[in-house]
Homo-oligomer: A and B are copies of this chain.
Amino acid sequence: MQTNTLEKQLAFLREIDQLKSVIRQSPLLDRSRKENSAEHSWHLAMYAVVLAEHACETVDAARVIKMLLLHDIVEIDVGDLPIHGGTSVEVQAEQESIAAGRLFGLLPQPQCDTFLALWQEFEQAQTADAKFAKALDRFQPLLVNIFTEGGTWTENNVSLEQVFSRYGPVIQAGAPALWAVCERWVTRHFQGR
């Protein structure tokens, strides 16, 4: 039984190696290449460790970190669907839900249930922990765009108004202090173009 549990856990840990090959739209800060979803997840977890005090409400940082570590694992099956792309929200949610079932389903049942629940909580963005995790997931690529002369905004011809509407509500809801910084950055960025 013990062996079976461990075998399933190791099969899952091998499977998720593939997240290192899912390429996102955002570049590294030195612009040498695009970021992958595994290193993005590491960076976001570090954002949570460092910035937890700026959450809108008191959060359980350990839960936020776990959420961010596993939030993109579904991309192994469905890829990274970029914020400035045209995929329908419903289609994306359906695809990701199937992916979560398959991938977390590799784990022993109790762990599968825990991971699925944590991933769903993140997706629903209703709890304080999930709102903060979502805010960081939106904040990090904004920071990257600011420090790479526009990054995906320049590539996709995104306007100041679109940045405010696509990033603002989510960051504001989970981390207003971070949104205050973003507002200054974004305004200055678009003024300078």
List residues of chain A with CB under 8 Å of any chain B CB.
2, 6, 9-10, 12-14, 16-21, 28-30, 32, 35-36, 38-39, 41-43, 45-47, 49-51, 54, 61-62, 65-66, 69-70, 107, 111, 143, 147, 177-178, 181
CA–CA, A167 and B17, complex, Å: 21
Shortest Cβ-Cβ A-B pairs, 3 listed: A62-B62, A42-B42, A38-B39
Is A46 touching B62 in the complex (CB atoms < 8 A)?
A: no
Q: Name the B residues within 8 Å of A2 (CB-CB).
A: 177
CA–CA, A12 and B50, complex, Å: 9
Given contacts A38-B43, A39-B39, A62-B62, 19 further A-B contacts (CB under 8 A): A6-B177, A6-B178, A13-B46, A13-B51, A13-B143, A16-B43, A16-B46, A17-B28, A17-B30, A17-B43, A20-B39, A20-B43, A21-B30, A42-B69, A49-B66, A49-B70, A61-B62, A65-B66, A65-B69
Q: Would you call the interface of chain A mostly helix, strand, loop, or mixed?
A: helix
Q: Name the B residues within 8 Å of A21 (CB-CB).
A: 28, 30, 32
Closest chain B residue, CB of each to CB of A39: B38
A21: min CB distance to chain B, Å = 7
CA–CA, A38 and B46, complex, Å: 11
User: CB < 8 Å: which of B45, B66, B107, B177 contacts A42?
Assistant: B45
Knowing A14-B147, A65-B66 are in contact, say whether A6-B43 is a contact too (CB < 8 A). Answer: no
